[in-house]
Amino acid sequence: MNVVLLDPSEVRADGGASLDGRRAEHVAKVLGKAPGDALAVGVRGGKLGSAQVVSSTKQALELEACVFEREPAPKRPITLVLALPRPPVFRRLLQHVTALGIERIVLLHTRRVEKSYWMSPSLEPAAIDTQLQLGLEQAVDTVAPDIERARGFKAFAEDRLPELAAGARVLVAHPGPFGPCPVDVPGPVVLLVGPEGGFIPYEIERLTEAGAQGVSLGPRILRVETATLALLGRLGG
Amino acid sequence: MNVVLLDPSEVRADGGASLDGRRAEHVAKVLGKAPGDALAVGVRGGKLGSAQVVSSTKQALELEACVFEREPAPKRPITLVLALPRPPVFRRLLQHVTALGIERIVLLHTRRVEKSYWMSPSLEPAAIDTQLQLGLEQAVDTVAPDIERARGFKAFAEDRLPELAAGARVLVAHPGPFGPCPVDVPGPVVLLVGPEGGFIPYEIERLTEAGAQGVSLGPRILRVETATLALLGRLGG
């Protein structure tokens, strides 16, 4: 936790704030803050800044003099369209890509996504928000990526993808005779990553018709988590 | 498991092989192979090829006509020097970087590595080999990265790093006023990644003296796993 994030409603008019739970415990146990110490804070969705510790125990953290004066790093104009992975990979990837500053994540159903994944408690809004918060706290950011769900592949390819693609470079990661993923792409990018086992040929055809360019990471078959992070590293930003 | 890897000792002179345990179970349960089916196989440390299934149950897999005729994709001439992470991250990273085809991994002790990590059962040779095998099976490769341990930072920086650095580009990932990590570097690379919390200034000085160039992934503070995979994606290969 490299920044303690507060909800706007938690900051009082006098610049004080009272926290409990995970954040209080972390500040007391891991950061070992004492009264008078400065603490890096941020307002979820807003600015970064600092606060002063009034008191800190594992149960309760009292802050005063909360000042929020600088914007977080801008989001990278990247939309990651991710075939919904199995829940533990999904949870980790949410943290990874939030920390990397991606603007938007679209969770996509494809033929090889197991339908049961959509029933996972990890997809409940509060569970998703926990992972986003952890990614933001790691990266010292306040603005989470937007999360969309696209449970119909055809509707996504025909309706939503063209909207996302307007003005953007659209890349689909797929093993095959494709060139390497481009590097340090300056403008908006839509990156599509299939499920373990890949997109089926029909899906690749529909995505290609919608303007997606196939990119490869070489001859090795990679897991979704490995491939996604290596690709996002290449895109830069 | 995109290839079933055999130990050289498991392949009989008549081209047959008898497997049990995890591999037999996977072929029967996940791949659902029946007698007569072809199976992608490889010899650990050797070539890739194919075999024919004689019989397949969850307990025992009988193969015949094992033929090994093609080399796996060449290793990427990258040495990853990794401050030893906590065990679950270590296990996942071993799989990730093996799948990515890295040539060598040096596990390094630094000031901010918890000494208890070196006592983890995950560092026992058999435990490491399990992760390497999973990475190779995923990537359809047969040759695991070499694993070295460097438990003395000073000796590593003064003796081993200069050997590794001969003819190679040496990069150290560190937050700060550094340029971005270069992309698609053609020749050998030594990439150093610090622990959660980073290298301490003394360590950065020693590494820089040994010729390492600082590289940054931008203003966000990333976890070791996120940063390592994004950096390896950039290096290409």
A46 shares a domain with A137: no
Q: Which residues of B touch A237 (CB under 8 A)?
A: 218
**What average pLDDT score do residues A18-41 get?**
96
Helix (H, G, I), strand (E, B) or coil at A100: coil
pLDDT at A95: 98
pLDDT band (50, 70, 90) for residue B176: confident
B222 touches chain A (CB under 8 A): yes
Taking one residue from A and the other from B, the number of pairs with CB-CB distance under 8 angstroms is 99
pLDDT at B237: 72
Domain end among A25, A50, A70: A70
Put simply, the answer to whether A139 touches B100 (Cβ < 8 Å) is no
Tell me the average pLDDT of chain A: 96
List A residues 36-55 in contact with B (Cβ-Cβ < 8 A).
none
pLDDT band (50, 70, 90) for residue A175: confident
Nearest to B233 among A99, A230, A237 (CB): A230
B138 shares a domain with B48: no
The predicted-structure confidence for A187-231, as pLDDT tens digits, reads as follows 999 999 999 999 999 999 999 999 999 999 888 999 999 999 999
Q: Which domain holds residue A144?
A: 76-235
B82 shares a domain with B16: no
Amino acid at A18: S
Contact between A95 and A205 (Cβ < 8 Å):
no
B197 shares a domain with B107: yes
B98 touches chain A (CB under 8 A): no
Q: Please say if the pLDDT value at position A177 is more than 90.
A: no
**Distance between A82 CA and the closest CA of chain B, angstroms:** 17
Amino acid at B228: T
Domain end among B33, B55, B70: B70
Percent of chain A exceeding pLDDT 70 equals 100
Q: Which of A30, A103, A143, A229 to mutate to test the interface with B (most CBs of B within 10 A)?
A: A229
Min mean pLDDT across A173-177, A210-214, B114-118, B133-137 is at A173-177
B103 shares a domain with B54: no
**Count of the separate structural domains present in chain A:** 2
Structure tokens belonging to residue B142: 């047969």
Burial degree of B62 (CB within 10 A; 0-12, 13-18, 19+): middle
A59 shares a domain with A172: no
Amino acid at A38: A
Put simply, the answer to whether B233 touches A231 (Cβ < 8 Å) is yes
B190 shares a domain with B99: yes
Amino acid at B66: C
Put simply, the answer to whether B233 touches A236 (Cβ < 8 Å) is no
Put simply, the answer to whether A226 touches B141 (Cβ < 8 Å) is no
Put simply, the answer to whether B139 touches A222 (Cβ < 8 Å) is yes
A85 shares a domain with A8: no
A32 touches chain B (CB under 8 A): no
The predicted-structure confidence for A123-156, as pLDDT tens digits, reads as follows 999 999 999 999 999 999 999 999 999 999 999 9
Put simply, the answer to whether B220 touches A100 (Cβ < 8 Å) is yes
pLDDT at B175: 82
pLDDT at A209: 93
CATH code of the domain covering residue B177: 3.40.1280.10
Domain end among B45, B70, B95: B70
The predicted-structure confidence for B29-47, as pLDDT tens digits, reads as follows 999 999 999 999 999 999 9
pLDDT at A84: 98
Put simply, the answer to whether A138 touches B222 (Cβ < 8 Å) is yes
Amino acid at A225: E
pLDDT at B96: 98
B21 touches chain A (CB under 8 A): no
B104 shares a domain with B28: no
The tokens 């007391």 sit on which residue? A28
Q: What is the ipTM of this complex?
A: 0.96
CATH code of the domain covering residue A16: 2.40.240.20
Closest CA to B81 of B129, B134, B147: B147
Contact between A233 and A197 (Cβ < 8 Å):
no
Would you give the DSSP letter of residue A183?
S
